[in-house]
Amino acid sequence: MFHQIKSEDFKSSPFPHMFKDSFMEDDPFRALMSELKKIERVKRRIWSGDKNMVVDPPDWSPGSDDIEKYPMVKNVMQYFRSENFYKPLIKEWSKYLPSRLGITASNITNSVFDLSNCQLRFDAAGNAVKIRDPHIDHPKDILVWLFYCRLPEDSSTGGDLTMFSYKRGFRGFKINTLKDARYFNDRDLTLEKTIHFKPNRLVAFLNGMDSVHGITDRKNAKVSRIKFTGGIFSEDAKIDLPLEDSPVWRFFYHPLNLAQRTIIKVKKVFGGRTSY
């Protein structure tokens, strides 16, 4: 039902990732999309820009009764929760695990696969829908994947996965997201790659301090942005924060930065020499 993930599907820059088009065979994918259309009509939500929120939870978690109505959705979710799906990803990325997450492939046992998750998500429709700012995932996440199921009638723009690298120097954080160290300031990042939201496309990437990614805003979306998504995590995984990214430093960074800029302006006004 799914095509094999091959070594040529993997890329190392700007961080370890892969994507594969036509991941699912044509006939099963058409059957899947037919089921997803029916679910989408019920789950469609409209973005409310005024309230900066949407209604209803974004996930579709089928109960035992619901899942039998959608056999192809059931098969897909079972596959993405299986060890067979994760094996080629872990094999390819095992060499990166010690340096990026402080673990080895031997740490990833069957018990980890019991913690693997698969969600069916319907991002809201609307004229201008904000999804995710540049960020890195939870430090216990090992890898994350997305399987795009874009509807044929989806004529919206955006909803694309963006990958970033750090600019040189201090990497600050948005003042309104200081409570979450995983969100970054746009001006401190360089856009390196965009992977578009296309039907039947699988995307996966390995977590790490440099795995900064986001989702572009959707414009003029009449229908939901549909994807299966999930990953695996381990309590043994660890991403070390450098000093400049530590919570204590971030607490002092903005006041110190403001004071520095004020002193520079004062020196310029009075003709003093500015030193850095």
For residue 184, which of 196, 193, 175, 192 has the smallest C-alpha distance? 175
Confidence band, pLDDT 50/70/90 cuts, at residue 18: very high
- 8 A C-beta contact, residue 104 and residue 94: yes
Q: What is the 3-state secondary structure (H, E, C) of the chain?
A: CECCCCHHHEECCCCCEEEEECCECHHHHHHHHHHHHHHHHHHCCECECCCCECCCCCEECCCHHHHCCCHHHHHHHHHHCCHHHHHHHHHHHHHHHHHHHCCCHHHCCHHHHHCCEEEEEEECEEEEECCEEEECCCCCEEEEEEEECCCCCCCCECCCEEEEEECCCCCCCCHHHCCCCCECCHHHEEEEEEECCCCCEEEEEECCCCCCEEECCEEEECCCEEEEEEEEECCCCCCCCCHHHCHHHHHHHHHHHHHHHHHHHHHHHCCCCCCC
pLDDT given at position 228: 96
More confidently predicted of 159 and 167: 159
Question: How far is residue 26's CA from residue 1's CA, in Å, rounded to a whole number?
Answer: 9
Please give the mean pLDDT across all residues of the chain: 82
- Domain carrying residue 272: 246-276
Residue 114 located in a structural domain: yes
- Is the domain of 275 the same as that of 161? no
Name the domain count of the chain.
2
Q: Does 165 share its domain with 115?
A: yes
pLDDT of 22-68, one tens digit each?
999 999 999 999 999 999 998 888 876 654 454 444 566 666 567 78
Quote the pLDDT of residue 276: 30
Is residue 1 a part of any domain in this protein?
A: no
Same domain, 222 and 269: no
Residue 44, domain CATH: 2.60.120
Tell me whether residue 63 is in a domain. yes
- Residue 181 is assigned to a structural domain of this protein: yes
Residues 186 and 255 in one domain: no
Instruction: Say if residue 76 is in the same domain as residue 192.
Output: yes
Identify whether 41 is part of a domain: yes
Same domain, 186 and 273: no
Identity at 113, one-letter amino acid code: F
Residues 140 and 261 in one domain: no
Report the amino acid identity of residue 33.
M
Reply yes or no on whether the pLDDT at 204 is more than 60.
yes
Residues 127 and 98 both lie in one domain: yes
Q: Are residues 127 and 194 in the same domain?
A: yes
The torsion defined by the Cα of 160, 203, 208 and 102, in degrees rounded to 10, comes to 170
Instruction: Kindly state whether residue 2 falls inside one of the protein's structural domains.
Output: no
In this prediction, residues 172-186 reach a mean pLDDT of: 55
Residues 162, 250 within the same domain: no
Determine, yes or no, domain membership for 136.
Answer: yes
203 and 250 part of one domain: no
Query: Is residue 157 located within the same domain as residue 273?
Result: no
Q: What is the pTM of this model?
A: 0.81
* pLDDT (0 to 100) of residue 238: 84
176 part of a folded domain: yes
